[in-house]
Structure 1
């Protein structure tokens, strides 16, 4: 009897050790995927920014096309966002077709979780997505870390809307993020950043709020549906909302009518820069896909922290692609902004996960 109990204990111990090893491997993989999501989002930012400073976009923004100030300030940025989301939706829908999930995509749209994702997409796409592109165009890549405040804002909104815990550690992380954003904003006073910095900062804050709210809303929706289906719904809704609702409204306000939108859209998708927008759309799709996967594998808090590192990768890839490779002036990042970007990432990490728990996990 004692031998049998000893064998059972040994088997249980082996099973426990094996499970712990699998958990660590699963966690590490999720951590890696989460970090990649932030890198890919940085690449998306750099590519969509590159697309809008070359080809037909360069001609439009140069003023030679005779476009109105409103078109230059708002319509072109919304158009770029809409086309990027459209290419991203094509990648997402193509992925669902290849994996045999397109039927589930159609069915899910009609469900409550699907409607929740549609609402989240409207908040995160037409509102946050457009203001983010406009912020980068007007203020340069230095405003990207400010949009990274979406994690801090999401934590606050989660506390208000979903009654989620807002601990002293999370508050400390929020304060660090706010200090970092103030440091970034201070660079506009030195003359080192382009003239549209102030408006760019304001738009980046609006984007941060929109994405923070989207994260709270979508967190509930994606807990009940396949993440890849959720991404397809999100990108499709955002693309259609921008191209078929927001742009026509802006055109009517501008006074030229929707004919202008059709002309701009046609020229944009037939210009060689569409290849860059297809590339940016691909990285947008991959980034969201990896974000959802990372959240499910290593936890939503750490997944958000890893994704939030785009606050660093965005300016980094803009500098590498536009500044170093293509030798465009104005994309150099002031030292204080680089320091603030790293500080912002630290604040996001501290707010999203207890560093002591993470290091303890690594020692086990």
Structure 2
């Protein structure tokens, strides 16, 4: 029973990440988008990415307070690892998270989320290049499987209003690459012992703050921030999205601690399948052969990579 409970925690992290994508997708397709000027609607995923990570960071910060670890936050920022985590957060947030939500907006969650889940593949390749980690035959086959699965998944455009479908696929690939690079940096930098909750807090807050107060002003999209904070209905969606994202990350780390890193990553990778299930149920996404086969190939390949070694 205890073993099942540990595995349930890992699977739940993947499920909640898929729910996060579903909430953001529902918001992007809602009538609330009429609150924004047409000039910035295309780039609204950047605004939502900032709020998503900020709310997730505040949730984890509250959890740190509950655990009595809040006093460790500022001292951790001064450590070498803390500084590396800040850099990783800038890559995984402004680049990765923004690309992820752009992908959901342009290609739909059933297609974008599984492709963004290719981060273990990119992480494996980057670790081979920069950390000199070996790639065995099994790893190579799984990487090829990821590539084939991505091709199958994106081969046929979905029905509906997705005129920029392949641009969405590209953004999803950028998200996966960014998160793979982020994981590689953290792996390289984690030499000092920092609590996982503190690392997660740093990552999420750095990401949210940098997107909202650096990226948006730089891209002249800060009007989107102002419009968002004036709408309780929009903030409600973003709060729930951030809540599910923060809880997903906490369960992900907990799952790796209880099940081991490889199994924890594999259980979390089920969000590829959950995203399709939720999209079919709540967004009426057509269940095509290419979608089913592509997601299955990608998911099996990612799980294989997660169990590598």
TM (normalized to structure 2)? 0.92
SS in 2 for 1:187: coil
Establish whether residue 265 from structure 1 lines up as the match of residue 256 from structure 2: no
Bigger-Rg structure (1/2): 1
State which of 23, 26, 36 in structure 2 corresponds to 1:50. 26
1:206-225 to 2 correspondence within 5 Å? 206-221=174-189, 224-225=193-194
Could you tell me how far 1:298 is from its partner in structure 2?
A: 2.2
Q: Where does residue 277 of structure 1 map in the other structure?
A: 238
Q: Is the 8 A contact 2:85 2:203 kept in 1?
A: yes
SS in 1 for 2:286: coil
Could you tell me how far 1:108 is from its partner in structure 2?
A: 0.5
State which of 121, 124, 135 in structure 2 corresponds to 1:166. 135
Q: Deviations over 1:116-156 (max 9, x none)?
A: 11111111110010011001101112222111111111111
Q: Where does residue 150 of structure 2 map in the other structure?
A: 181
SS in 1 for 2:154: helix
Q: Is the 8 A contact 2:25 2:108 kept in 1?
A: no
SS in 2 for 1:56: helix
CA distance in 2, matches of 1:343, 1:243: 36
Stretches of structure 2 that go unaligned for 5 or more consecutive residues are none
Could you tell me how far 1:173 is from its partner in structure 2?
A: 0.9
SS in 1 for 2:133: coil
CA distance in 2, matches of 1:58, 1:290: 35
Q: Is the 8 A contact 1:319 1:333 kept in 2?
A: yes
Distance 1:193 1:164, change over 3 A: farther
**What is the RMSD computed on CA atoms of the aligned residues?**
2.1
CA distance in 1, matches of 2:179, 2:156: 24
Distance 1:297 1:84, change over 3 A: same
Q: Where does residue 41 of structure 1 map in the other structure?
A: 17
CA distance in 2, matches of 1:31, 1:170: 23
1:192-271 to 2 correspondence within 5 Å? 194-221=162-189, 224-251=193-220, 261=222, 263-271=223-231
Stretches of structure 1 that go unaligned for 5 or more consecutive residues are 1-23, 252-259, 324-330, 358-364
Distance 1:222 1:232, change over 3 A: farther
Q: Where does residue 125 of structure 2 map in the other structure?
A: 156
Establish whether residue 126 from structure 1 lines up as the match of residue 94 from structure 2: yes
Q: Where does residue 353 of structure 1 map in the other structure?
A: 307
Q: Is the 8 A contact 1:51 1:274 kept in 2?
A: no
Q: Is the 8 A contact 1:81 1:130 kept in 2?
A: yes
Q: Is the 8 A contact 1:132 1:207 kept in 2?
A: yes
State which of 332, 340, 347 in structure 1 corresponds to 2:286. 332
Q: Is the 8 A contact 2:121 2:305 kept in 1?
A: yes
Greater shift, 212-221 or 178-187, is seen at 212-221
CA distance in 2, matches of 1:113, 1:281: 25
Distance 1:333 1:137, change over 3 A: farther
Greater shift, 292-301 or 145-154, is seen at 292-301
State which of 306, 311, 319 in structure 1 corresponds to 2:280. 319
Q: Is the 8 A contact 1:157 1:213 kept in 2?
A: yes
